[in-house]
Amino acid sequence: MRSAGLELPPGFRLVHLDEIDSTNAEGLRRAFAGEASGLWIWAGRQAAGRGRAGRPWTSEGGNLYASLVLRPGVPLAIAAQLSLLAGVAAHDAICALAHDTDARPDLQLKWPNDLLAGGMKLGGILLESASAASDQAFAVVIGIGVNLDHAPENIGRPVTSLARLGISSSPAKAMAALAWSMAEWLRHWESGRAFPQIREAWLARAQAKGAAISVRQGESLILGHFVGIDEAGALLIQTETGQQRRITAGDVSVAAEARGA
């Protein structure tokens, strides 16, 4: 299917908007209105972009802002796996963009939803559901943002862009790469039946086992080392006391971020 001048994988559609409050917000509106699965919403700018916990995200033109509406037909707990799947897909899409360049970015996935390059944030993923119901009729919206041309400033953490890494890409080219990568990994996922393979793919793209990380949960800060993710996708951390803990929610920082690398 060709939409907005892009060749899309079979079964997917695309709406291109010059500006929107946020692609996720538009995806949720359309999902509540009964939108079928497989719709990409791609915007040139976002007036009210946001990340995890409602944090604002600067969304000027030149970067990639896109959300995918899906009706996965699985329980909500299984649909949560799509956050990790989207990270793998975004990672591979960026590698495809870098393929014909001399740049070899040090890309890593950080649990649960960040894409890092050299320890600096390059992109993020926001998974939201269009219904609080636990049945299989709900929709999920997967928002993906990638810094292509520039990176937001003054957000309290080191950030980068593909341009700073020596990789030139238009939003249209990045959108196409992401759409095809997502379609491929959704096919592999098999509605959760093949999540062990997705988990292994995510781990292969994550920071090295044993890397120093911290997890902030409210006022609590857990220091330790990255062990991996378990069969359900939860983070595993070895604390400084030698205890292994399972984390299902929290803000994670890696050593490179703490150094401002």
The 10 Å Cβ neighbour count of residue 237 is 23
Rounded mean pLDDT of 3-10? 81
- Taking the C-alpha atoms of residue 227 and residue 165, their distance in angstroms, rounded to an integer, is 28
Residue 159 carries which DSSP code?
A: B
Cβ contacts of residue 157 below 8 Å, gap of 6+? 121, 253, 257
Q: Which amino acid is at 203?
A: L
Domain ranges within the chain, ordered by starting residue: 2-204, 212-259
Q: What is the dihedral of CA 145, 124, 103, 9, to 10 degrees?
A: -50
Fold of 2-204: BirA Bifunctional Protein; domain 2 (3.30.930)
Query: Looking at residue 131, what is its pLDDT?
Result: 73
Q: Label residue 126 by pLDDT band (50, 70, 90).
A: very high
Rounded mean pLDDT of 82-88? 97
For 141-176, the pLDDT digits (tens) are: 999 999 999 998 766 778 999 999 999 999 999 999
The pTM assigned to this predicted structure is 0.90
Minimum mean pLDDT among 95-99, 104-108, 165-169, 172-176: which range? 104-108
Report phi then psi at 107, rounded to 5.
-90, 135
Q: Which of the listed CATH numbers 2.30.30.100, 2.130.10.10, 1.10.510.10, 3.30.420.40 matches domain 212-259?
A: 2.30.30.100
201 vs 47: which has the higher pLDDT: 201
| Residue 43 reports pLDDT greater than 90 | yes
Q: Which helix (H) or strand (E) holds 255?
A: helix 255-259
